[in-house]
Each structure stands twice: as structure tokens, then as C-alpha cells.
Chain A
């Protein structure tokens, strides 16, 4: 045995080492993932509408993200019943260049509710990579479609989705001098639109709570601009403290327990935080300039805000408890409206330079500034819950529209609203 081992060792040593070929690929393409979203299989004729509509919503969601290219159902060879019975015939899906396939069924659960099941298949490796089933009442089918879209998005991109979320915004009608501004809410794709406030009071700057179905905003109710808290489920509105000055630009802390905002008093504007339970407030800045538009970092340890303390409007970062602030923007023009991304890697901002407005992103350390869209007037950036997409509004002089854009700077889209829309605020994922 010993001899054999020695011999084997000698043979190994004597054999010249095989050098493995290594190839570095450092170029690729920016191409959405081709995905086939098959109509679902309805186990009963009464589910036929769901079996078509749910994949349609998934298709719209994934296409809207810009990261997927849903293939035309006209090219599909295998039908839903066959997928359900035999599983996917992968060569047929591969033949139409699908990299992923979504299939599903709609059935009735024993308790009478609707049961929707989906599976995500990797066409090249020919295996199922995700699958879930949901039971709900029939009227919730849209939400099921959004949840499935999120699952597919997450499995393919690695990031959480954002489709099962809502957007609150200011709906605008009327002339420029007699503008009616109401609080409105809708799904992220524009569906299920409804108004939250009446036409009587002017409302501005709504912000979603990151942890609950609450919105904070500024209203001129009673003639005095103050920050309010609105519970979407109950419809209840509360004034957030009674401050000696004008309060505005409120924003929630990541844990939902605090709000940071600006207060203008005695000719000076500084940042304040307020604990929502104890209603106690604390002053965070003491500069003689205007400090406003605060936004917490996702870990709640820092605040980014805009200030003209240095002579021009620029963006600063400081600890959440106040103290010394560090300027992070140094480019030409003025910077405003900073909003920290939920994933922490970027801060969105509005830049004004040479008569144009730009939407941009920058890293919290002040590096990597990029301007991703531009218009006569761009404002009000708000992040999707996964930090991948920004919503904002553009005023073209005639109408004000909501938009979304991917942080790469591509895939800019109009977000449909019944009337003009401004000041969008994205909710966290629905609970």
C-alpha cells in the first residue's frame, strides 16, 4: 500500500501541471431579460378572466421596470393547459429566445377563495427557480399579480421588487392662480386611484411612513401652513404639534417613530425632529441660513439636507442628532431636495444650473454625481421601496406630470394620473 501511494505521488509529480485557461469578459450588453409570461391555466371557465388578466399585469409591471422584455404571447408554442399537464417543453421556449418562463394556474381553494399559483422557470437550465401560491378573495387579483411580479423581479435581479406598492401625490387642477391641490393615492402602476382630501385646503409635500399606512404632509388648513399626519386606513388627520413658526418639508425616520422637518421662525429656518409618541421636538441645526428638505439615511444615523449656509444652496450631511455638517456637493449651480435611497447607496437631488433643472444622484460621500434627467422644471424625487427607481414630476410649462426613471438614467416613463400630478411619494411595500 505504501509503495502504491509513493508511486501515485511520483506519478502526480511527474505529470506536467495542466494550466487551466482563464478568460476575462469585461464587456456585456444592457439588454432586458427576455421573459415569456404565459397565460395562466384556469381550472374552471369562470377563472378565465383572471387567468388572462393576472399575466397581463405581470407583463406590464416587468416591462415597465425596463429590466425585462416580455415576449409576445403570439410566439408561444406551448399552451397553458399543456404546461400545467406536462410541464414546460423548454426547447420550444428556448426557440423563441425566452430566458425565463412564468406559468401559473387559477383554481378554487376548498374554502371557496381563489387560489393563484405561479412558477418561474429558468429556460436554459431547465428547472423551476421559484414558485408560490396565494389564496385570496377574487377582488384582490391585481394585488396577487403585483406580488407575483415582485417575486419574479427578485429572483431574476436579486433585488426586492417594488410593484406591490402605492404612490401618494398631489393632484392638481385649475388655473395657475387658482390651483386646486388634493392629496391622492394610487397603485404604483396608476390603478386604484382615489383622493384622500377635498378641494378646500391646499396640500403639499406628502411623505409616506416607511412602516405604516400613514402619510405626513403640509396643509394650509385653517389658513396656517402646518404638518399633518393622515392615516390612510381610517382617514383620520392630525396636526403634528403646534409650533411657533411655519413647519414644512416633513419626512419620517426609517423606524417611523420620528419626523424631521423644517421650521421657519423669526426669519430663520432650521431643522427639527419630533418624536411621534411623546410629541416632543428638538432642534437639530442652528445655522443662520435656510436649512430644509431633510431626509434620513436608511439606518437612521444621518440626515441629508439642503442649506445656503455656505453662500449658495448646497447639500450637506450630518449626524441624526445634529452637530457639524459636511458639504457633499460642489458642482456648478444650486442643489436642492436631497432624498436618501432606501438601500443607502445614493442620494437623489435636484440641481438648478443655467436655467435648467436636473434630477441627479450622488453617493453619500459626495462622489459619483450623475444627472439622469433634465427639463424646464423637475422636482420632488422619491425612491421606490427597493431604491432602484425614482419618481418625480416635470412641469413643462403647460402641464405637470409624474414620471419614473431607473437609476441608470434609462427607462423614463410617464406615470398616468387622471389630472396633473406633482410631489409624488412612494410607499414602502404593502404589508
Chain B
């Protein structure tokens, strides 16, 4: 308090004409001290915000061929080697096939009585089995991959003597999975199935699939099979997508059964798939389409 009253007395002693210059001088001195600590203010416009934007970089492993499910783009470099050259790691298939309780032979009601002799034979019901069927041996292992069987010309299933073109072994066509969802939707690009992986799977399934050539309207017998695959690449379940048609159309049912046999056949028991991409193939739909073959 004493200090304040002393300053007030001194201020009162200053002649009136000096007070204003003294205040201005003090303000300037304070400003100089502040600028000395903080620097001069930047009076121009703000810098371009782009200059400070971070650029995210993802480091990706280089896949063997392409890293997309889309059909091959013409400008892309050609694959160095055909997919079949790729060493296929054949793992020991796991032991027990998926055996649900094998149904005992059902009672069979014949669709129509067959006349066999003058005294008409009646279809009768086979007796139910006396015992359950044996479970498959867990050790039972499928044989190695079938040896390359007599390769047939896959380009034409229907013979025509007018076609004089020589038979040429042709490669599998380009991917037809253009309609497949973009791989980006499924996960990071490095996790998607490569073209070579898809081709290998396609080729494997082709070797297991017997076409119903010559069937009526065979070109309409396109079958979609939904597969659930275990991490060790075995087909755990295979179901026909179009169940209604399966129950109504005997031609379709035969074609569908043929497709199911394909995915269950020993040559396709262990699917050629990259184990690291389990999330990609654990659930898939395989379309068996005979149209190009007819």
C-alpha cells in the first residue's frame, strides 16, 4: 500500500504536459519487450494446407502375378508361367471324411409299379438294414492325385465330322469372375486371391468335373454349388444353391449331383488354395457352367 501511494505522489508531481508522452513511451517499451519474446506476427495469408497433409504409404508384398480378382487387363504383363506350373503343395488330407450318420437305406416306395411278367410284380419295400453302417476308418486316405488321365479335347463335346480343325490343346480361358465382388471390399489387397490362385483352383475342379454332354438342353444346366472349406482346405459341406430346381428337374438334379461328385472326388479332396488366405476362400460359390463346352 505504501508503495502504491508513493507512486501516486510521484505521478502527481510530474507536470501535466509530460504525462501523455510518458504513457506512449511506456506502451512502446512494453511492445518491444513482447516482440522480443514472441517474434513479429506473420501478417501474410495462411500457408497451403496441402503442404502439411501426410501421405500414407502401405508397403505391400508383391504377389506372383496379379493381385486382383478382376479379369486380366490387356496392358498388364503376361504371367511368367502357366498356373499349372506352380508347385501345388499337397498336404496330407485330414483323416476322417465328414460322415454324418449314414442313413440306413430308406424304405423305398417305387415311383411306379413295373410290370415284369403277366402276374404283375409289385415293387416291394426292401427291409431296413439290420445294423448301422461302419464308420470310415480314420486312417483312410485318398490316393495321390490321379495321374494325368487321357487328356481329351475339352473344346468340343459334340462330335461333328464337318469340323476339320485339328484338335488343339487349349488353355483355360481367362477369368470369368468379373462379376465377382471387388477384392477391396473383402480385405486388404494383399489378402485377395491372385489370378494364378484362382486359375489353379479352377483347373483342379475342371479335372474333377464330368460334363453331362448330350443331355437335353445341357447348356441350361448351370449349377452353383456353395462350399464351406476347412482351414486345411477340405470341403466340409457342398450344397446346391438352387434347391427348388434340384427337387423339380431330374436333368438338373443329375447335373448337380455331378458337380457335387466333382468337389467330393479324391482329386479335389484337398483344394489348391493358399492357406494364408483362409478368410477369402472359407466360404465360396463354385459355378459349373457347361455352355462353353457344348
Q: Which residues of A contact B (CB under 8 A)?
A: 16-33, 85-91, 94-95, 97, 99, 109, 113, 115, 117, 119, 122, 124-137, 140, 143-144, 147, 154-159, 343, 345, 358, 369-374, 387-388, 406-410, 431
Contact = CB atoms under 8 A, between A and B. Distances in A.
Contacts of A137: 117, 119
B214 A26 contact: no
Contact of B126 (A86, A117, A156, A369): A117
Contact of A408 (B161, B177, B213): B213
Nearest to B176: A24
18 contacts: A22-B285, A26-B293, A27-B172, A28-B154, A30-B211, A30-B213, A33-B261, A86-B129, A90-B136, A99-B265, A132-B110, A136-B116, A136-B121, A137-B119, A157-B254, A158-B249, A407-B214, A408-B158
B106 to A, nearest CB: 7
A18 B266 CA distance: 30
B293 A23 contact: no
Contacts of B149: 29, 31
Given A370-B161, A371-B161, 13 more contacts: A21-B285, A23-B205, A23-B284, A24-B176, A28-B288, A91-B137, A94-B266, A135-B122, A156-B257, A158-B212, A158-B215, A158-B249, A370-B158
Contacts of A29: 149, 152, 154, 206-207, 209-211
A157 B186 CA distance: 38
A300 B115 CA distance: 27
Interface string B222-251: 000000000000000000000000000111
A355 to B, nearest CB: 15
Contact of A22 (B157, B210, B287): B287
Contact of B177 (A24, A117, A370): A24
Interface of B: 97, 99, 102-106, 108, 110, 114-117, 119, 121-126, 129-134, 136-137, 140, 142-143, 146, 149, 152, 154, 157-162, 172-173, 175-177, 179-183, 185-186, 193, 198, 201-202, 205-207, 209-217, 249-255, 257, 260-262, 264-266, 280-281, 283-293
Given A30-B152, A157-B212, A22 B284 contact: yes
A125 B260 contact: yes
B121 A135 contact: yes
B104 A410 contact: no
Contacts of B252: 158
Contacts of B161: 358, 370-374, 409
Nearest to B104: A87
Nearest to A430: B115
A19 B189 CA distance: 13
Contacts of A119: 105, 126
B292 A27 contact: yes
A128 B142 CA distance: 21
A44 B17 CA distance: 145
Given A131-B108, A372-B161, A21 B131 contact: no
Nearest to B206: A27
A97 B288 contact: no
B278 to A, nearest CB: 11
A21 B192 CA distance: 10
Contact of B201 (A23, A30, A407): A23
Contacts of B281: 21
A256 B210 CA distance: 38
B293 A27 contact: yes
Given A21-B180, A128-B103, A370-B159, A99 B261 contact: yes
A24 B104 contact: no
Given A29-B211, A87-B129, A134 B154 contact: no
